[in-house]
Amino acid sequence: MKLIVNGRDEILDREMTILEFLQTKGIDPSVVVVEYNLDIADREKWGEITLKDSDKLEILQFVGGG
């Protein structure tokens, strides 16, 4: 199954939720925000949304800026 995450192809070898995906990537879910297929995904739903082939994910976080 192939996703597009932050503009890049990402191959998944099994089905998983957004939350599981973040965990496998070592990302602390509490510090990011996720856009799922161009809509902001509610934090509470991350454990319920199962990723499908060709889904688009944007995972963002605050960084330094002026």
Element (H, E) at 21: helix 18-24
Contact between 48 and another protein by CB under 8 A: the answer reads no
Name the one residue in this structure whose structure tokens are 């949304």. Answer: 49
Q: Which of 44, 51, 43 is nearest to 17 (CA)?
A: 51
Contact between 35 and another protein by CB under 8 A: the answer reads yes
Contact between 7 and another protein by CB under 8 A: the answer reads yes
Contact between 40 and another protein by CB under 8 A: the answer reads yes
Question: The tokens of 46 are what?
Answer: 């991350």
Contact between 58 and another protein by CB under 8 A: the answer reads yes
Question: The tokens of 22 are what?
Answer: 């973040």
Q: Which stretches of the chain bind another protein, using CB under 8 A?
A: 5-8, 10, 25-28, 31-33, 35, 40, 43, 58-66
